[in-house]
Amino acid sequence: MSNDSGVKTDEKKQHFDDIYMESTPVPFKERIIDALDYISDDNNRQTFDRLILPWCEKQEGKVIPYVDLCCCFGNTTLAIAHNMTVEEIRENWKDAATAQKPLKPRRLHLQTSGIDLSENALQYAENAGIFDRTIQANLNQPSAEKKAAVLNTMKEADILVSTASLVYLEESAIEELISTFANAPREGYCLVNFLNPFGLEKADATKRILLQNLDFVGSTATRHRRMSPLEQENYPGEEWSLLEIWVLKRKGLKQKVET
């Protein structure tokens, strides 16, 4: 069903909407990273390092346009762009003062863009220097101006990251976003992940869209975080939410012409 913001939600999954409206990531750290043993971004970083980082290192100092789609406070970008572990992010976000800037510099020549529904989370992440620019938009119902800005950013990007968030978007929105990224005439990579056991039908539909538009590169199966009491009640016998991480790449130019 949809919540008041227009975002599609799975009622069996714990939602943290109030955290995402905060002006700092400290509640995210306390209620998700700490309380639920969140380890997801260690696995996102390791998968990025295995399947995308070698390409980045061959770009000879070129600036690589990078987009974190539905980015929240930018924790996954801290993991990927700043090479930070979850423990380092935990330390970085222990209080509002420490959270004002990343504890480690960027390791790659990236131009980072964050796209999200939460204006507060984006303002924090841009002020902290996690993102060079941000776009606040409801991706299911964007204004014409916001839609144009988002699609242009997707077209310009050569790395797209979207972790555990595509499930909140309408299939039509996913198709438009992914196809816009996929159709740019350059080499480019996408890292997305899916949670189990939440939103499995939406995850399957999203995977079909990804495979129609991009070439599959590789995957990792691992843990995401512990389930909340509500989730354990809805999924008896389950203690951990599991994570399936996919990396895909743009299809070759010859394929694009022929299809």
Q: DSSP for 50-71?
A: HHTHHHHHTSTT--EEEEEET-
- pLDDT at 73 (0 to 100): 96
* Averaged pLDDT for residues 175-183: 97
- The confidence score (pLDDT) of residue 231 equals 64
Residue 1 has pLDDT above 50, yes or no: no
**Residue 5 confidence (pLDDT):** 44
Sorted by sequence, the CB contacts under 8 Å of residue 204 that are 6+ apart come out as: none
d(C-alpha 63, C-alpha 111), whole Å: 6
In this prediction, residue 233 has a pLDDT band, given cuts at 50, 70 and 90, of low
Is the dihedral angle over the CA atoms 35, 36, 41, 46 positive or is it negative? positive
Lowest mean pLDDT among 32-46, 73-87, 99-113: 32-46
Burial of 131 (0-12, 13-18, 19+ CB in 10 A): buried
Question: What domain range includes position 86?
Answer: 17-258
CA distance 24 to 116: 15
| pLDDT of 7 strictly over 50 | no
> So what's the pLDDT on residue 101?
97
Specify if 30 maps to a domain: yes
pLDDT above 50 for 255: no
Do residues 182 and 211 lie in contact, with contact meaning Cβ atoms separated by under 8 Å?
no
Q: How far apart are the first and last CA of the chain?
A: 35
pLDDT digits (tens, 9 = 90+) for 15-72: 556 778 899 999 989 988 888 878 889 999 999 999 999 999 999 889 999 999 999 9
Whether residue 2 is contained in a domain is answered as no
CB 99 within 8 Å of CB 55: no
Q: Confirm whether 28 is domain-assigned.
A: yes
Any domain includes 155: yes
Query: Would residue 1 count as lying in a domain?
Result: no
The DSSP bridge pattern shows strands 159-163 and 64-69 to be parallel
Task: Give residue 174's pLDDT.
Answer: 95
Evaluate whether residue 178 is within a structural domain: yes
The Cα 130–Cα 6 span in angstroms is 27
Contact 130, 78 (CB under 8 A): yes
Q: Is residue 239 part of a domain?
A: yes
pLDDT score, position 53: 97
pLDDT digits (tens, 9 = 90+) for 132-172: 999 999 999 999 999 999 999 999 999 999 987 888 899 99
Provide the number of structural domains found in the chain: 1
**Can you list the alpha helix ranges (DSSP code H) found in the chain?**
17-20, 26-28, 40-51, 53-57, 75-81, 86-92, 119-127, 144-156, 171-182, 200-213, 229-234, 253-258
Beta-sheet pairing, 240-250 with 214-226: antiparallel
Across 85-103, average pLDDT? 96
CATH number for position 32: 3.40.50.150
Tell me whether residue 8 is in a domain.
no
Give which of 64, 77, 62, 58 is closest to 115, Cα–Cα: 77
Question: What is the average pLDDT across 206-210?
Answer: 93
The identity of residue 154, as a single letter, is M
Residues facing 113 on adjacent strands: 67, 133
